[in-house]
Amino acid sequence: MKTYFLDSVNSTNTYLKDHYQDYQHFDCILTHHQTQGKGRLVNTWFSTDKDLTFSILIKDKLSAKAIQLMPLYTAYILNKVISLYTEESFIKWPNDILIQGKKVSGILVESLYQDSLKALIIGIGINVNNNDFPNHIKNQAISLSQISQVDIKQDSLLLKIQNQFEKDYEIYKNDPTFIIKDLNQKLAYKNQWITYTENQKNHQAICKEINEDGHLMVETNHKKKILISSVIHHLRKN
């Protein structure tokens, strides 16, 4: 991958959406400061120069399944690399990496269509060396350095992610579902109670597994249900 550094940008994803024609497949946009960092749904992403904030451009012919599972492929790659620093990382469906139940990384995959798919843009944020989070997220966020007790070299971490992404990409392209087994082995809240939102109402269920479509299987009242797109939270029951 070739990496391009921008000192400041509204969002690396937005920048690539506006300039994707100027870049090649697997090019990476890296910044130390986002003025309008984006998360999934309507969320924002807090970032500093102590963290990693970047987007990867995919300009390739992919199957519908490979496009659909790209957020989970990215989560699979991130967890694989983060596991080099800690054994406590888990994948929160569909697009977060958790350590000790707190968010260390988030993913936002966006599709760019003009009659047909022109590009996928994979936005990634990782809390690397930041130990001072804003009050509204400090109880939900954690950094790699807080776990390892030493500062992490950001350029080294980025290179590991890029290399792993490229190394497994052709396997993924030919068989996107190869990631499912590993995802389920590292699935956060597996066999535990969660809450999810559906039709603007909160529901409770037991988190079971990710199926081959990338959907989350849950169980409620001894009946299985498939979550296609939802926000889930861990539910602690006494």
Domain with residue 218: its CATH number is 2.30.30.100
Residues 80 and 157 in one domain: yes
Q: Report the DSSP pairing between strands 216-220 and 223-227.
A: antiparallel
According to the model, what pLDDT value does residue 44 have? 57
Task: Note the pLDDT of residue 41.
Answer: 44
Asked which of 185, 207, 226 is the last residue of a domain, the reply is 185
Cβ-based neighbours of 61, under 8 Å, separated by 6 or more: none
Judgement on whether residues 172 and 199 belong to the same structural domain of the protein: no
- Regarding whether 154 and 63 lie in a shared domain, the answer is yes
Are residue 103 and residue 181 in the same domain, yes or no?
yes
Tens digit of pLDDT at every position of the chain (238 positions): 999 999 989 899 999 999 999 999 999 999 988 886 554 444 555 567 889 999 999 999 999 999 999 999 999 999 999 999 999 999 999 999 999 999 999 999 999 998 889 999 999 999 999 888 888 888 899 999 999 889 999 999 999 999 999 999 999 999 999 999 999 999 999 999 999 998 889 999 999 999 999 999 999 988 999 999 899 999 976 5
106 and 213 share one domain: no
**Domain boundaries, position 38:** 3-185
Same-domain pairing of 45 and 149: yes
SS3 string of the chain?
CCEEEECCECCHHHHHHHHHHHCCCCCEEEECCECCCECCCCCECCCCCCCEEEEEEECCCCCHHHHHCHHHHHHHHHHHHHCCCCCCEEEECCCEEEECCEEEEEEEEEEEEECEEEEEEEEEEECCCCCCCCCCCCCCECCHHHHHCCCCCHHHHHHHHHHHHHHHHHHHHHCHHHHHHHHHHCECCCCCEEEEEECCEEEEEEEEEECCCCCEEEEECCEEEEECCCCEEECCCC
Same domain, 173 and 200: no
Whichever domain contains 12, its CATH number is 3.30.930.10
Domains in the chain, number: 2
pTM: 0.92
Say yes or no: 174 and 123 in one domain.
yes
| Cα→Cα distances 235→60, 97, 119, 196, 218, Å | 40, 18, 37, 10, 13
**Is 67 found in the same domain as 49?**
yes
Q: Are residues 145 and 48 in the same domain?
A: yes
The residue out of 146, 163, 185 marking a domain boundary is 185
Residues 197 and 127 in one domain: no
The pLDDT of residue 47 is 65
Q: Are residues 181 and 204 in the same domain?
A: no
